[in-house]
Chains A and B, each alone.
Chain A
Amino acid sequence: MLALVDVNNMYVSCERVFRPALVGCPVVVLSHNDGVCVARSNEAKDLGVGMAQPWFQVRHLQRSAGLVALSANFELYGDMSNRMMTLAAAYAPRQEIYSIDECFLDFAGVRGDLTRIGRALRAQVLQWTGLPTSVGLASTRTLAKLANHVAKTADRKPGSYPSALAQVCNFDRLSAAQLEAVMAATEVGAVWGIGRKTSAKLLDRGIRTVLDVLRADAVALRRPFSVMLERTRRELRGEPCLGLDELPESNQQIMCSRTFGEPVTSLAVLTESVSQFAARVAEKLRAQRSVAGALQVFLSTSPFRTQDRQHSPSATLRLVPASADTRRLAAAAARTLEAMFRPGHRYVKAGVVLVDLQPQGRAAGLPDLFGDDTAQPVPRRDGARLMGTMDALNQRFGRGAVDLASAARPPRRAAAPPASIGRQQMRSPRYTTRLDEVITVRC
């Protein structure tokens, strides 16, 4: 059994923990130099604000509907993500972090009522961090994601699904008839990996709901659609066939993480891994023609080795200007790692996440006109051609054919300290990562 745990409207929820007055207000979080809405509260969704909608199109809602806009605060989100992830990790033998606000828990071998475990996890994360989560439980990744969708939707829109499925939804505990009713009430577009185009094509063939997909003739589906759809269908039937790497990539963040076979205590070994992760995410970033505005690195000891000292830090570094250059990303990751590494700890997991993704052209070469730090980024040569060559060689000769030197050995003191970002006029304080920005409490 698998669980998909994710934070509801992650960025907005993080803001609300520290500004409770925002609870109940329509809120959007802006990225790309305050140009695009990358997170919306339910109230903002109800106002019709779309995902990735340009800010200028909805700006008028500030006056007319009290819409609150905040600049993305990736340092805060990274730290809150780390708190949530390390709590969730203790609930199952295996955790796979899928994105900044989502992880899979693999309950293989765990006995007991998983719905109850899911509820306990949700309650603990809410109390300890203030973040509301949804938990979907099922036998495959695609189904767990769908169960999560049901848990979230049932909570947000009463009447959409039975209220018993709100917040924590376990498909395994539903009768065949109940499950069928859920599948009939869910449109195919809600399924992971079925995009808008495929949905439209399916609708042309009279396939509107998930139940329709399950009932459709497999052969009839295979020809006009991709192999991917067939695998999705098999997953929906409860047959696991998608690995973590084969899941649809989020267009908001790119992540690479790994649980080590043996606990790692050496900075050199961790640097090597983290540099490889950085190279991997950089390649994916370039494949989607984007650049990243910030990079997060996390490290974790094992919550199950209670005899070990625990240390599960994470840190987020702004990239100014935004970049897709493996060298820069790997250097930033190595530097961040070095800053948070503590000798004497047995680390079992590490990862690199790219956030604040932006289209390549727009951000490239954009000078830091609005930076609030004095440190100006050092202009560097455009590495696009070098990176393209690297990607081509790696595709042809296998991953790692061409690598950065740092992927094999730790760099000594790398470039300048983290510079501040471009325009972020409405950013909240970095409450949990900067001592001079912590909350002031009245006494």
Chain B
Amino acid sequence: MSSHDGPTQLLRPSPENGPRKPRSSVAFSFGSPADDSGIGRLDLNDILIRHAQATFVMRVSGAAMREAGIDDGDLVLVDRAIAAAHHHVVIAIADEGFVCRRLVRRAHQMRLCAADPAVADIVVTDSAALQVWGVVTHAIKSLPI
């Protein structure tokens, strides 16, 4: 957890206790608290996980998100602290299971879109019926070695 992002800020309660705005670049986002402590080695926990208590690992099955960079067998990091917004890749609850899709807002309609155009969108007319479990922040793929 970066020093700017610690839950300590919540001691001053705000009505909006959700996540803070995503920041623009990696270098800016992940200022490491290790700077002061003399431990220099990069730690993937610091780099990949912004909200440790809210982050979960899932395994991808299927290729419908390949064009979005998420392939069959990849691991994804899912952050529940981030409020899902237009164009986020999300984990949604559908048919008693979890599905990974891009969230697309169109007029008064939400869609869960696969990256593969051949796969039909899931159209959500009632936004209350849309259950987003978390937002995908990273995909981890293992390359053949």
Contacts and interface: CB of A to CB of B under 8 A. Distances in A.
A86 interface: yes
B6 A90 contact: yes
Contact of A443 (B33, B38, B64, B96): B64
B134 to A, nearest CB: 9
A110 to B, nearest CB: 8
Nearest 6 A/B pairs, CB to CB: A443-B62, A128-B54, A90-B7, A83-B53, A21-B96, A120-B13
B15 to A, nearest CB: 8
A431 B59 CA distance: 11
Given A307-B3, A310-B1, A441-B58, A128 B131 contact: no
12 contacts: A20-B93, A110-B11, A116-B13, A120-B10, A127-B18, A308-B37, A309-B39, A344-B37, A438-B56, A438-B59, A440-B58, A443-B65
Contacts, number: 121
B141 to A, nearest CB: 13
A306 B3 CA distance: 5
Given A120-B17, A124-B17, A128-B53, A90 B11 contact: yes
Contacts of A21: 96
B59 A440 contact: yes
Interface in A90-136: 90-91, 110, 112-113, 116-117, 120-121, 123-124, 127-130
A177 interface: no
Nearest to A346: B37
Contacts of A116: 13
B41 to A, nearest CB: 10
Contacts of B70: 443
B57 A438 contact: yes
Contacts of A309: 33-34, 37, 39
Given A90-B8, A91-B10, A441 B96 contact: no
A56 B87 CA distance: 50
B33 A308 contact: yes
A303 B59 contact: no
Interface in B81-106: 81, 91, 93, 96-100
Contacts of A84: 53
Contact of A431 (B38, B56, B76, B81): B56
A304 interface: yes
B100 A128 contact: no
Contacts of A375: none
Most buried by B among A86, A91, A116, A127: A127
A376 interface: no
Interface string B54-84: 1011111111111000101001100011000
Given A307-B36, A344-B37, A441 B7 contact: no
Contact of A117 (B13, B34, B58, B100): B13
A116 B10 CA distance: 11
A180 B66 CA distance: 62
B56 A432 contact: yes
A58 interface: no
Nearest to B62: A443
Given A90-B10, A308-B37, 15 more contacts: A83-B53, A117-B13, A127-B81, A128-B53, A303-B7, A307-B33, A308-B33, A309-B33, A344-B38, A432-B57, A438-B59, A439-B56, A440-B60, A441-B99, A442-B62
B63 A443 contact: yes
B98 A439 contact: yes
A45 B131 CA distance: 26
Contact of A441 (B8, B34, B98): B98
B100 A127 contact: no
Most buried by B among A113, A123, A439: A439
Contacts of A164: none
B52 interface: yes
A357 B46 CA distance: 37
A425 B3 CA distance: 44
B32 to A, nearest CB: 8
A123 B39 contact: no
B98 A442 contact: yes
A310 B52 contact: yes
Nearest to B99: A442
A369 interface: no
A83 to B, nearest CB: 4
A124 B8 contact: no
Contacts of A83: 53-54
Contact of A303 (B6, B63, B81): B6
Nearest to A126: B80
Contacts of B63: 443
Contacts of A113: 13
